Structure 1
Amino acid sequence: MRGRAPGGGAPAGPVEITSESVQRGDVIQIGGRPCRVIDLLQLPGGAKRLWFESGELLTMHSRTRLVALRVLRRW
Protein backbone atom coordinates (compact mmCIF):
# COMPACT_ATOMS: atom_id res chain seq x y z
CA MET A 1 0.00 0.00 0.00
CA ARG A 2 1.42 3.35 -1.02
CA GLY A 3 0.00 6.81 -0.76
CA ARG A 4 0.93 10.42 -0.28
CA ALA A 5 2.28 11.83 2.96
CA PRO A 6 -0.29 14.03 4.74
CA GLY A 7 0.39 17.69 4.01
CA GLY A 8 2.89 16.88 1.28
CA GLY A 9 3.07 15.60 -2.23
CA ALA A 10 5.88 13.10 -1.82
CA PRO A 11 5.15 9.39 -2.23
CA ALA A 12 4.96 7.52 1.08
CA GLY A 13 4.83 3.88 2.10
CA PRO A 14 4.09 1.94 5.28
CA VAL A 15 7.00 0.71 7.41
CA GLU A 16 7.10 -1.14 10.73
CA ILE A 17 8.85 0.99 13.34
CA THR A 18 10.26 0.38 16.80
CA SER A 19 11.72 2.81 19.32
CA GLU A 20 15.08 2.27 17.60
CA SER A 21 13.90 2.99 14.07
CA VAL A 22 11.32 5.78 14.51
CA GLN A 23 12.32 9.03 12.75
CA ARG A 24 11.23 12.64 12.63
CA GLY A 25 8.64 12.99 9.89
CA ASP A 26 7.10 9.52 10.40
CA VAL A 27 3.29 9.62 10.38
CA ILE A 28 1.62 7.28 12.88
CA GLN A 29 -2.14 6.82 12.91
CA ILE A 30 -3.47 7.14 16.46
CA GLY A 31 -7.18 6.90 17.14
CA GLY A 32 -7.87 7.13 13.42
CA ARG A 33 -5.97 10.41 13.11
CA PRO A 34 -2.56 10.76 11.42
CA CYS A 35 0.08 12.25 13.73
CA ARG A 36 3.45 13.44 12.38
CA VAL A 37 6.53 13.01 14.63
CA ILE A 38 8.39 16.32 15.01
CA ASP A 39 10.81 15.50 17.83
CA LEU A 40 12.18 12.52 19.79
CA LEU A 41 13.71 12.06 23.23
CA GLN A 42 15.70 8.96 24.24
CA LEU A 43 14.53 7.51 27.57
CA PRO A 44 16.07 4.83 29.82
CA GLY A 45 15.61 1.19 28.82
CA GLY A 46 15.48 1.86 25.07
CA ALA A 47 12.20 3.78 25.16
CA LYS A 48 11.58 7.03 23.25
CA ARG A 49 9.16 9.88 23.79
CA LEU A 50 7.64 11.17 20.56
CA TRP A 51 6.29 14.70 20.09
CA PHE A 52 3.68 15.24 17.39
CA GLU A 53 2.77 18.37 15.42
CA SER A 54 -0.47 18.53 17.40
CA GLY A 55 1.50 18.91 20.65
CA GLU A 56 0.59 15.43 21.89
CA LEU A 57 3.16 12.99 23.29
CA LEU A 58 3.55 9.23 22.96
CA THR A 59 6.08 6.99 24.73
CA MET A 60 7.28 4.02 22.72
CA HIS A 61 8.78 1.31 24.89
CA SER A 62 11.65 -0.84 23.62
CA ARG A 63 9.28 -3.63 22.53
CA THR A 64 6.57 -1.44 20.97
CA ARG A 65 5.98 -2.06 17.25
CA LEU A 66 3.85 0.29 15.15
CA VAL A 67 3.21 0.88 11.47
CA ALA A 68 4.08 4.35 10.21
CA LEU A 69 3.82 6.12 6.88
CA ARG A 70 7.28 7.26 5.80
CA VAL A 71 8.21 9.45 2.84
CA LEU A 72 10.04 7.33 0.28
CA ARG A 73 13.32 8.88 -0.78
CA ARG A 74 14.73 8.04 -4.18
CA TRP A 75 18.44 8.26 -4.91
Structure 2
Amino acid sequence: MSGWAPHGSLAASVDITSISVQRGDAIQIGGRLCRVADLVQLPAGARRLVFESGEVLTMHAQSRLTAIRMMRKR
Protein backbone atom coordinates (compact mmCIF):
# COMPACT_ATOMS: atom_id res chain seq x y z
CA MET A 1 0.00 0.00 0.00
CA SER A 2 1.89 3.04 -1.15
CA GLY A 3 1.11 6.73 -1.17
CA TRP A 4 -1.39 6.69 1.66
CA ALA A 5 0.77 8.10 4.47
CA PRO A 6 0.08 11.77 5.17
CA HIS A 7 3.14 14.02 5.13
CA GLY A 8 4.73 14.36 8.55
CA SER A 9 3.41 11.04 9.86
CA LEU A 10 5.06 8.01 11.38
CA ALA A 11 3.74 4.46 11.11
CA ALA A 12 3.38 2.48 14.34
CA SER A 13 2.36 -1.11 14.89
CA VAL A 14 -0.49 -1.25 17.43
CA ASP A 15 -2.64 -3.98 18.94
CA ILE A 16 -6.31 -3.29 18.31
CA THR A 17 -9.62 -4.57 19.60
CA SER A 18 -13.15 -3.89 18.42
CA ILE A 19 -13.17 -0.90 20.78
CA SER A 20 -9.85 0.65 19.77
CA VAL A 21 -9.89 0.14 15.98
CA GLN A 22 -9.99 3.42 14.01
CA ARG A 23 -10.66 4.56 10.47
CA GLY A 24 -7.37 4.58 8.59
CA ASP A 25 -5.87 1.60 10.44
CA ALA A 26 -4.21 -0.85 8.05
CA ILE A 27 -4.59 -4.56 8.85
CA GLN A 28 -2.80 -7.36 7.02
CA ILE A 29 -5.24 -10.10 6.08
CA GLY A 30 -4.20 -13.04 3.92
CA GLY A 31 -1.02 -11.27 2.89
CA ARG A 32 -2.87 -8.12 1.76
CA LEU A 33 -2.81 -4.81 3.57
CA CYS A 34 -6.39 -3.61 4.01
CA ARG A 35 -7.16 -0.06 5.18
CA VAL A 36 -10.27 0.56 7.32
CA ALA A 37 -12.61 3.01 5.57
CA ASP A 38 -15.67 2.74 7.86
CA LEU A 39 -16.82 1.13 11.11
CA VAL A 40 -20.28 -0.15 12.01
CA GLN A 41 -21.16 -0.83 15.66
CA LEU A 42 -22.82 -4.22 16.22
CA PRO A 43 -24.41 -5.80 19.32
CA ALA A 44 -22.29 -7.29 22.13
CA GLY A 45 -19.29 -5.02 21.51
CA ALA A 46 -18.61 -6.25 17.98
CA ARG A 47 -17.76 -3.99 15.03
CA ARG A 48 -17.95 -4.48 11.31
CA LEU A 49 -14.89 -3.08 9.55
CA VAL A 50 -15.43 -1.93 5.98
CA PHE A 51 -12.19 -1.70 4.01
CA GLU A 52 -11.40 0.66 1.13
CA SER A 53 -11.60 -2.37 -1.20
CA GLY A 54 -15.24 -2.91 -0.17
CA GLU A 55 -14.47 -6.09 1.78
CA VAL A 56 -15.78 -6.44 5.33
CA LEU A 57 -14.51 -8.07 8.51
CA THR A 58 -16.40 -8.51 11.76
CA MET A 59 -14.36 -8.08 14.93
CA HIS A 60 -15.99 -9.59 18.00
CA ALA A 61 -15.47 -8.15 21.48
CA GLN A 62 -12.66 -10.65 22.18
CA SER A 63 -10.89 -10.23 18.81
CA ARG A 64 -7.31 -8.93 18.92
CA LEU A 65 -5.38 -7.92 15.80
CA THR A 66 -2.23 -6.00 14.98
CA ALA A 67 -2.59 -2.95 12.76
CA ILE A 68 -0.42 -0.22 11.33
CA ARG A 69 -1.57 3.20 12.45
CA MET A 70 -0.33 6.52 11.13
CA MET A 71 0.80 8.74 14.01
CA ARG A 72 1.20 12.48 13.47
CA LYS A 73 4.40 14.15 14.60
CA ARG A 74 3.89 16.44 17.58
TM superposition score normalised by structure 1? 0.88
Matched, 1:55 2:57: no
What RMSD in Å do the two structures reach over aligned CA positions? 1.3
Q: Which has the higher contact order (CA 8 A, sep 6+)?
A: 2
Q: CA deviation at 1:74?
A: 2.2
Matched-pair contact (CA < 8 Å) for 2:10–2:73: no
- Within 1, Cα distance between the matches of 2:2 and 2:40? 23
- Within 2, Cα distance between the matches of 1:63 and 1:7? 32
| Identity fraction in percent | 62
Q: CA deviation at 1:73?
A: 1.6
Q: How many residues align?
A: 71
Q: Describe the superposition over 1:30-53 as per-residue Cα deviations: whole angstroms up to 9, x where unpaired.
A: 000000000000000000000001
- Within 2, Cα distance between the matches of 1:15 and 1:7? 20
> Secondary structure at the residue paired with 2:72?
coil
Q: CA deviation at 1:19?
A: 0.2
Matched, 1:8 2:7: no
Runs of 4+ in 1 over 3 A off after TM superposition: none
TM superposition score normalised by structure 2? 0.89
Q: Describe the superposition over 1:45-67 as per-residue Cα deviations: whole angstroms up to 9, x where unpaired.
A: 00000000100000000000000
